[in-house]
A and B are shown apart, each in its own frame.
Chain A
Amino acid sequence: MSALHGLVYLSVLIFLVACVARAVRIARAPMHLRWELQPVPHEKPGKSMYETVDYWEKTLEKNHFGELAVMIPEILLLRGVWEHNRSLWFPSFALHFGLYLLIGNMGLVLVIAIMALSGVEVGTGFGLLLTNAIKAVAIVGGGLGTIGSILMLIKRATDDGLSKFATPSHFFNLVHLGAIYVTVLLWALLDPSFVVNLSALYAGLLTLNAIPALSTIAMVHVAVVLLFFVYLPFTHMTHFFTKYFTYHSVRWETTPNVKGGKVEKNIIKNVTQPVTWAAPHIGADGKKTWVDLVSGTGEVKKEKEA
């Protein structure tokens, strides 16, 4: 096992642990008050539960594929940006879609690496097809991502709204992503054995065997990818998975509070906590719970007189 093995495994581990920790922190937050926002796609199109008389006595029709029908175009095609921020759409789409292609390509490389490890001939037939596909996807993904990064950088620096709200990390992130795209593009274009070397890298990592010597550009690519793994979970870019919570746990969370249900249990847990808000009208003393406090009126003067 080489230092590179160690670095790769460590980076992936940091990525996974940090992402899981963030997800757990969000998921373990107490059940909040309802704050849904239309459209709620799991309801039958154009049919909110509140549009039905005595809805609580009825079984309401659900649109099981409604959420997917919203999420897929949103994630893949950035529909929200298309609809509401058209001039940003292409730069952002190119930046994101380039990444999707490269992530998808990792799956293809994994397949070819496993084929090679299993002794399957990869120079002909399906193996050859896969080899060509990997190279093509790397070029398209790297190229698209490079264009996206450059255009986003220009936008970030010159657009009035974007530049006013930019932080140094925005520029760093774009340069960093750009480095990933440019290096993979150059590696794919300059190295005639790009796929062979890439799959050998994967095979070496999978088996803990020696990794073949990589070109400088390949080494730089691996380095920037590993840095990205370590850095990403500590940034707002985690929205790639926290979006699940903003949509499913907030916008589309409409579970009613029924007697004896899961929601009721959570409410009891929440309202029996002590409160420490300091405004006099709240009447909190650090011991009184939400239940104790909601019997109040918020009138301060009378409470003092009494």
Chain B
Amino acid sequence: MSCQYCGIQPNSVNDISKESEQLAKVDPKDLMPLPAPYDGDEYRPSIAQLKDSSREAHPASATLDGVLAAGAPEPKTKEEEDKIVQQFISGLRKLFTKENNWTFLQPLTLSMEHCARCQTCVDNCPVYEASGWNEIYRPTYRSEILRRLYFKYVRPGNKLLTKFQNNDIELNYTLIARLYELAYRCTLCRRCAQSCPVGVDNGLITHDLRKLFSQELGWAPKELHEKGTVQQLTVGSSTGMNSVVVKDNIEFIDEDISERVGWEVKTPWDVEGADVMLIENAGEFLAWPENHGCTAVILNKAGINWTMSSEIAGYDGVNYGLFYDDVQLARVATRHFQIAKDLGVKKIVMGECGHEHKALATIADRVGVDLAPRESILTLLADIVKSGKLKLDPSRNDFAITLHDPCNTVRNLGIVQPQRDVLKLIAPKFREMTPHGIHNYCCGGGSGFAIMSGNNFEDWRNLVSSRKKFAQVLNAFGDEDLNTDETKKYICAPCSNCKGALRDMLEFYGAKEKSGIYYGGLVELVVNAMPDTAEPLLDWDMM
């Protein structure tokens, strides 16, 4: 069935290698409807057209869906084009060798060889649904491309039998450039994987596809690689802050929070043998400084012997390697572990950052030996709050609060209850989203999207990948007046990247001004509930 508005055909898998003006298009009219009062056409604008210069720089990638997140380098000659195809095949083969991909060989092979193509997983994908079921965002679409290539180039066997069982596909530069771009239309939330009866994981397939591009061709979005892991490993943080700058910033944050709570708050640095080494997402220090301030208030009040590290990467829990490159992942995680070991701390506590949780607690558990134990700030926070060490007055949080479950914290680590235990004690107007917990929907900023805003990708993120979350938020506050900003509504999102995506999403839809919807972390709500602070922590005018 062709689209009646734009005429672009929904795709068969093999269309990816056929040259065309554009493979697919996000048509505003197809987008999933939002609940009132966001159901008007003004809440489904068109994605901005790519600038000519962007199209010229990445002409083939730009023909995927007219959006650019990554953009494949364009070959200048036929030789260069052939070389890219050969490099791709070589990377594809390496993905299935134990030396190069021991990290995920077994799960990847299982997912490649056993998909029943039953499509049971597809309706669970928030990107696919929010786009209005756009074929190229179907969870199985990009997996099927890689699967056909796998059976053609990695396990060819008998040609006829391979075609009979897995169909054929033509590999050319057009396919490669579009597939690279398509690898950045999935948030790796793994919601589809939860529903696959066979245990196939389309999120993992996308993850390993990104690795192929990064580890063999050296292609990765600059936000994740140059400005991300490389900057973190050379300068100290993906924010670009070195240790002098970060210490300055934290000093400023300490002073500010001290003034707001009315007592002195100090962040300890490089304390050997501390019980806790706190590693937060350093993005917080610039974008949401009160998150660190509140964490420091709580740890100090609870009498915890804690420290931060000023070593390179020691003060930034970000690990974007998780999203695109196992070697970079291992490099960052190894630094984190080495710093903890050198300081002789008892445990690492991971701040409110979902992907830090996944990278450090589970994935990196097998990148080295004799590793420091890791714990979530949410778990520690619940322990502190329940212990009664903090004096708390829930009536100070007398506004509507809902909770966003970050995929990496919840779907991977299964940390569901601690944050709810805290909210139960400090948030009288708390209400859940539907669904929530391990079946939550991604904020739309997962897998690095929250920090990727180049070209027109931010439009795509707000309009497509964050859309399901926005609908959930509106439904959670459905019993409140959404036509006024007088009654305040707070999305508690204990994750830096999620907050980044929510910030952009609320701004895009004008939800703060129209409906009084704000967002922030969990520690802020805890400190806001402290009755003995000089002033309430939350200042709506400043948020």
B91 at interface, CB cutoff 8 A: yes
* Contact partners of B412 in chain A: CB under 8 A: 36-38
The answer on a CB contact under 8 Å between B110 and A51 is no
Q: Which of B117-125, B422-430, B442-450, B476-484 contacts A (4 or more CB under 8 A)?
A: B117-125
Q: How far is the CB of B66 from chain A (nearest CB, A)?
A: 22
**How long is the Cα–Cα vector from A50 to B419 in the complex, in angstroms?**
12
A80-B217 in contact given A30-B105, A32-B107, A294-B334 (Cβ < 8 Å) = no
Q: How far is B117's CA from A129's CA once the two chains are assembled, in angstroms?
A: 41
Q: A32-B102, A294-B330 are in contact. Are A250 and B107 (CB under 8 A)?
A: yes
- 10 contacting pairs across A/B (C-beta < 8 A): A32-B107, A51-B417, A167-B166, A169-B165, A236-B113, A236-B116, A243-B114, A282-B327, A294-B334, A298-B230
Chain B interface: which of A178-186, A190-198, A273-281? Answer: A273-281
Give A35 to B161 CA distance when docked, in angstroms: 32
Is B258 interfacial (CB-CB < 8 Å)? no
| Residue pair B375, A53 in contact (C-beta under 8 Å) | yes
- Nearest Cβ in chain B — how far from A168, in angstroms? 5
Q: CB within 8 Å of A: which of B243-281?
A: none
Question: Which residues from 156 to 172 on chain A have a C-beta closer than 8 Å to any C-beta of chain B?
Answer: 159-162, 164-170, 172
Known: A37-B194, A170-B117. A32 touches B215 (CB 8 A): no
Given A37-B412, A246-B198, A276-B99, decide whether A92 and B118 contact each other with a Cβ distance below 8 A. Answer: yes
Q: How far is the CA of A263 from the CA of B366 in the complex (A)?
A: 8
CB contacts under 8 Å to B, within A48-66, are 48-56
CB of B79 within 8 Å of the partner chain: no
Shortest CB distance B209–A (Å): 15
With both beta carbons as reference points, the residue of chain A lying nearest to B346 in the complex is identified as A54
Q: Check if A297 sits within 8 Å of B87, measured CB to CB.
A: no
Measured between C-beta atoms, what is the minimum distance from A289 to chain B in Å? 9
**Chain A interface residue count, Cβ-Cβ cutoff 8 angstroms:** 91
Q: In the complex, A83→B194 CA distance in Å?
A: 11
Check A51 against B379 for contact (C-beta < 8 Å): yes
Q: Is A8 an interface residue (CB 8 A)?
A: no
Min CB–CB distance B153 → chain A (angstroms)? 16
Let me know if B438 is at the binding interface, CB within 8 A: yes
Question: In the complex, what distance in Å separates the CA atom of A235 from the CA atom of B114?
Answer: 8
The answer, yes or no, to whether A245 is at the interface (CB within 8 Å) is yes
Let me know if B225 and A298 touch, CB within 8 A.
Answer: yes
Q: A264 at the A/B interface (Cβ < 8 Å)?
A: yes
Segment touching B, from A10-18, A101-109, A140-148, A251-259 = A251-259
**Which of B116, B330, B369 has the most chain A CB within a 10 Å cutoff?**
B369
In the complex, are the beta carbons of B438 and A39 less than 8 A apart? yes
A268 interface residue, CB < 8 Å from B? Answer: yes
Q: Within 8 Å CB of A46, what residues of B?
A: 416-417
Q: Is the pair B218, A279 in contact by a Cβ cutoff of 8 Å? A: yes
B376 contacts A by Cβ under 8 Å: yes
Question: Which of B118, B144, B367 has the most chain A CB atoms closer than 10 A to its own CB?
Answer: B118
Assembled-state Cα–Cα distance A29/B96 (Å): 10
* 6 smallest beta-carbon distances between A and B, as pairs: A246-B199, A48-B414, A80-B197, A279-B218, A29-B106, A297-B233
Chain B positions near chain A (C-beta within 8 angstroms): 1, 12-13, 87, 90-91, 94, 98-100, 102-107, 109-111, 113-124, 135, 138, 140, 144, 161, 163-167, 190, 193-201, 204, 214-218, 225, 229-230, 233-234, 325-328, 330-331, 334, 347, 361-371, 373, 375-376, 379-380, 383, 410-418, 438
Our pick among A35, A85, A257 for the contact of B371 (Cβ within 8 Å) is A257
Chain A residue numbers with a CB within 8 Å of B347 are 54
A244, chain B: closest CB distance, angstroms: 9
Q: Which residues of B contact A33 (CB under 8 A)?
A: 103-104, 326, 363-367
With contacts A37-B190, A246-B198, A277-B215 taken as known, whether A50 is within 8 angstroms of B124 at the C-beta atoms is: no
CB neighbours of A243 from chain B (8 A): 114, 198-199
Q: Is A130 an interface residue (CB 8 A)?
A: no
Given contacts A53-B379, A81-B120, A168-B164, contact A161 B138 (CB under 8 A): yes
Q: Find chain A residues with CB under 8 A from B198 CB.
A: 239, 243, 246
A297-B118 contact given A259-B370, A277-B216, A282-B327, CB 8 Å threshold: no
Is residue A120 contacting chain B, with contact meaning CB distance below 8 A? no
> Cα distance A6–B299 when bound, in Å?
75
User: Within 8 Å CB of B194, what residues of A?
Assistant: 37-38
Complex: how many Å from CA A290 to CA B328? 11
Tell me the nearest residue of chain B to A296, going by C-beta: B331
Q: Say which residue of B161, B233, B361 sits within 8 Å of A50 (CB atoms).
A: B361
Most B C-beta atoms less than 10 A away, residue of A43, A46, A235, A294: A294
Chain B residues positioned under 8 Å from A55 (CB to CB): 375
Residues A249 and B106 in contact, CB atoms below 8 Å apart: yes
Complex: chain B residue closest to A172, CB-CB: B164
Q: Are B94 and A276 in contact (CB under 8 A)?
A: yes
Return chain B residues, CB-CB under 8 Å to A43.
414
The answer to whether B233 and A299 touch across the interface, beta carbons within 8 angstroms, is: yes
Q: Which residue of B lies closest to A164 (CB)?
A: B12
**A264-B100 contact in complex given A81-B197, A246-B110, A246-B114, C-beta closer than 8 Å:** no
Give, as a whole number of angstroms, the nearest-CB distance from B534 to chain A: 31
Q: Does A132 contact B (CB under 8 A)?
A: no
Interchain CB contact under 8 A, A34 and B214: no
Asked if residues A84 and B120 are in contact (CB atoms below 8 Å), the reply is yes
Selected from B118, B199, B201, B215, the residue in CB contact (under 8 A) with A279 is: B215
User: Which residue of the partner chain B has the closest CB to A278?
Assistant: B216
Q: Which of B12, B326, B327 has the most CB of A within 10 A?
A: B327
- Can you list, as one digit per residue, whether each of A263-306 has a CB less than 8 Å from chain B (1) or not (0)? 11011101101111111111000000010011111111010000
Given contacts A38-B412, A235-B165, A274-B99, contact A294 B106 (CB under 8 A): no
User: Which residue on B lies nearest to A49, using beta carbons?
Assistant: B414
Tell me, rounded to whole Å, the shortest Cβ–Cβ distance linking B526 to chain A. Answer: 16
A276 and B325 alpha carbons, distance in the complex (Å) = 14
CB distance from B139 to the nearest CB of A (A): 11
Q: Which of A230-252 contact B (CB under 8 A)?
A: 234-236, 238-239, 242-243, 245-247, 249-251
In the complex, chain A residues whose CB is within 8 Å of the CB of B379 = 50-53
Q: Are B413 and A242 in contact (CB under 8 A)?
A: no
